[in-house]
Structures are given as C-alpha cells and as structure tokens.
Structure 1
Amino acid sequence: MPFELLSQEDLCRISGKSRHSAQKAWFRLHFGIEPVCRSDGSIVLTRDSFEALLAKRLNVLPATKQGESAKERPKLIPLNISKRRT
C-alpha cells in the first residue's frame, strides 16, 4: 500500500514555520508528539498520519461500529538505539 510523505512545503503550510526545529516545536505544542526526523532535521510524516492526528485533535475520529468497543492499544516502549554502531 503506497503512502505519501508530507513535503517541506506541506510542513511549512501546516505549521507556518520554515525551520525544521520550529516545525518540531509546533508539532510538540499542538499535537503533543515528538515527530520522527531525518539526519538533516527535517520531519518525516505521512499524510495519513497527519490527518489522523488532526482528526484526533479535532475530536472527529470515525465512530466505531455498533456493539464494537474501542480496543486499548498497547503502550509503546522506546528503543535504546545507540548512535554509534560497532
């Protein structure tokens, strides 16, 4: 299933910020997330992920099917990946 990454222009339009660090701060402030970044500091985010974040923030998530309860997702565990590889 193909996915579309947000371009730098998309991120500038969304956040109103042109610097990568300012865009990261904007995502932290408005969505409470630490976005995944490339080695140059630019944000890596799919359009679908952004739309899901926005829907959650606006409280317009699609309703669950009748009789189906929302399943709690497991907690994520951070990986301790060292920056230096041997």
Structure 2
Amino acid sequence: MNQRLMTEADLYRVTKLKQNAARVRWFMMNFGVRPVQSADGSLTLTWGAYEIMQARRAGGVTPTHDAHAVARPKLVRVGRAA
C-alpha cells in the first residue's frame, strides 16, 4: 500500500476539481467520507487511503478487514429480564 501523500496535481487528476471545498464535496458524494483538511483548507490524503476507498466502493475486501477480522461468539437468549 502506498503511503505517499497526494499532491495538488494528484487531487486534481482524481477529482478534476481545483477548489478544496469542491473536492471535499466530491469525496463525500463518491465515497461517503470527509477527507482530513489542513488549517489552510487543503486536503491531506494518502494514496493508500484513496485505494482503500476505491476497494470498498467496488465491494472488494480491504487489508484492514482481513487483519482485524475476529470471530464473534454466538449470542444465546437466556430468558426474560426480571
């Protein structure tokens, strides 16, 4: 996974938008995620995070799902609470 930060040129190539507020709306609309913004309003996003968003949108399994998968115990009803 690539942890390199996306540059302004990278963000433009992905979103085709120049304004940071418009880019935030684009990420919200396409991925349902609000990206982290710096104090100056610029987006701080790694290529790895973008790849995970794309994989989730495509319905694929991401590395974080496999690494943290824990089997949940089966819940059994004990009875009515008094």
Unaligned ranges ≥5, structure 2: 72-82
CA distance in 2, matches of 1:51, 1:44: 14
AA in 1 matched with 2:55: A
AA in 2 matched with 1:35: P
Corresponding residue of 2:7: 7
CA distance in 1, matches of 2:42, 2:32: 18
**How many residues are paired up?**
68
AA in 2 matched with 1:26: W
Scaled by the length of structure 1, what TM-score is found? 0.68
How far does residue 36 in structure 1 lie from its aligned partner after superposition? 0.4
Corresponding residue of 1:23: 23
Scaled by the length of structure 2, what TM-score is found? 0.71
AA in 1 matched with 2:53: L
Q: Going by fraction, where is helix more abundant, 1 or 2? A: 2
Corresponding residue of 1:70: 69
Q: Going by fraction, where is strand more abundant, 1 or 2? A: 2
CA distance in 2, matches of 1:18, 1:62: 29
Unaligned ranges ≥5, structure 1: 73-86
Q: Show the 5 A alignment for 1:39-50.
A: 39-50=39-50
Secondary structure of the residue that 2:44 maps to in structure 1? coil
Report which of the two structures shows the higher radius of gyration computed on alpha carbons: 2
